Amino acid sequence: MSPESASTTSEGHSSVSATEIAHFSALAKDWWNPKGAMRPLHAMNPLRTEWVQRHTLPLAQANPGPLSLLDIGCGAGLASEAYAKLGFETQGIDASVEAIRAAKAHLEQHPLPVGAATLSYRAGSAEDLVNEGARYDVVNALEVIEHVNDPQAFLKMLAELTRPGGMVAVSTMNRTPRSFVMAKLGAEYILRMLPVGTHDWKKFIKPAELAQMGRNAGLRMTDIAGMSFIPPKWRETRDTGINYIAIFTRD
C-alpha cells in the first residue's frame, strides 16, 4: 500500500518525478518504525518476500549457489534485509540518498545473522545498472511501478536487468473503484495509515495491463496473487481487486 521509494531518477523516461523522490526521502528517518508512516509495509513485508522466495525456488534448485536479487526502489531496506535473511545475495538500490543512508544505518545497527547472504546498498538509478550491464537472477520491484512515469518502459528495464531464465517480481495496486475507496481515500484521508499524497489512483495498474506490459518487455507472467489484510495479518488470496503481486519469467 505504501511504496518503497522508486529507484529511477528524474532524468529517465521511465522514472518517477523529483517530487515523488522528495516525498519518500522525507520519510526516510521513520522508515523502520513499525508504528510510523511505513507501518503498512512492515505488516505486508513477510507476505511479499516469502511469496517471492517460494516462487523462485525452482530457479534456486536449478542453479548452484545463492540467487542474486536486485531490490529496485528498496527505500530503507525492509524487503532487502528480509531477502538477505532468506538466502538471496541482495543488492538494494534507490534514488533517494536519504533512504539509502537510513538503510545502511539500520544494517550497521542491526547486523544480519550469521549464515545470512550478503546485502549491499547503493544510491542511484536502475538505469545506471542497465548502462553498467548488470544482470541478476531475480529482479524485485515492490510498490514501485505505480510511481514511475512510464510503467511499460520501466518493466522493459526490469527485463533487461534479468538474466535469461531469471524472474521478475512486481507488486502493485489494481485500478478499481474499491482500491480508490480503500487504498486512496480510506488509507490516506480517513484512517491516516499513509501520508496524504502517497498514491495517485490513476497510476494504479490492472493485472491484465501488467501482463500485457510484461509480454511487450519479453516477460511471461507465471503467477499472480491478491494480498489482503485479514486480521491479524496480510494474507495471500485470490482477490486482486486492491493489492496484488505477480511473478514473471524472462525466457
DSSP state of 240: -
142 is in an annotated binding site: yes
Phi/psi of residue 137, nearest 5 degrees: -70, -40
When pLDDT is cut at 50, 70 and 90, the band that residue 12 belongs to is very low
**Tens-place pLDDT, residues 22-71:** 767 887 889 999 998 888 899 999 999 999 999 999 999 999 999 999 99
**In this predicted structure, what is the pLDDT of residue 176?**
94
Cα(200)–Cα(62) distance, integer angstroms: 40
Is 166 or 23 the better-scoring residue by pLDDT?
A: 166
Contact (CB, 8 A) for 205 and 146: yes
Neighbours of 209 (CB within 10 A): 14
Mean pLDDT of the 91-100 span: 95
Is 15 or 168 the better-scoring residue by pLDDT?
A: 168
> For residue 193, is pLDDT > 70?
no
Cα 250 to Cα 104, 205, 211, 236, distances in angstroms: 31, 21, 13, 24
**In this predicted structure, what is the pLDDT of residue 141?**
98
In angstroms, how far is CA 155 from the centroid of its own chain? 12
124 is in an annotated binding site: no
Per-domain residue ranges of the chain: 18-250
Contact (CB, 8 A) for 121 and 74: yes
State the cell numbers at 204. Answer: 494504479
Mean pLDDT of the 94-123 span: 95
Half-sphere exposure of 31 (CA within 13 A, CB side): 28
Give all strands (DSSP E) within the chain, no chain letters.
Answer: 68-72, 89-94, 119-123, 136-142, 162-173, 219-230, 233-237, 243-250
**In this predicted structure, what is the pLDDT of residue 29?**
87
Q: CATH for 18-250?
A: 3.40.50.150
Q: 3-state DSSP call for residue 136? A: strand
Mean pLDDT of the 204-233 span: 97
Quote the mean pLDDT of the chain: 88
Is 167 or 18 the better-scoring residue by pLDDT?
A: 167
> For residue 202, is pLDDT > 80?
yes
Cα(105)–Cα(157) distance, integer angstroms: 29
Cα 49 to Cα 54, 55, 168, distances in angstroms: 9, 10, 13
> For residue 186, is pLDDT > 80?
no
When pLDDT is cut at 50, 70 and 90, the band that residue 3 belongs to is very low
Is 2 or 39 the better-scoring residue by pLDDT?
A: 39
Mean pLDDT of the 98-108 span: 97
**In this predicted structure, what is the pLDDT of residue 183?**
66
pTM above 0.85, yes or no: yes
> For residue 108, is pLDDT > 80?
yes
73 is in an annotated binding site: yes
Is 29 or 142 the better-scoring residue by pLDDT?
A: 142
**In this predicted structure, what is the pLDDT of residue 14?**
47
Neighbours of 213 (CB within 10 A): 21
Cα(40)–Cα(26) distance, integer angstroms: 17
* Cis preceding-peptide flag for 232 (omega within 30 of 0): yes
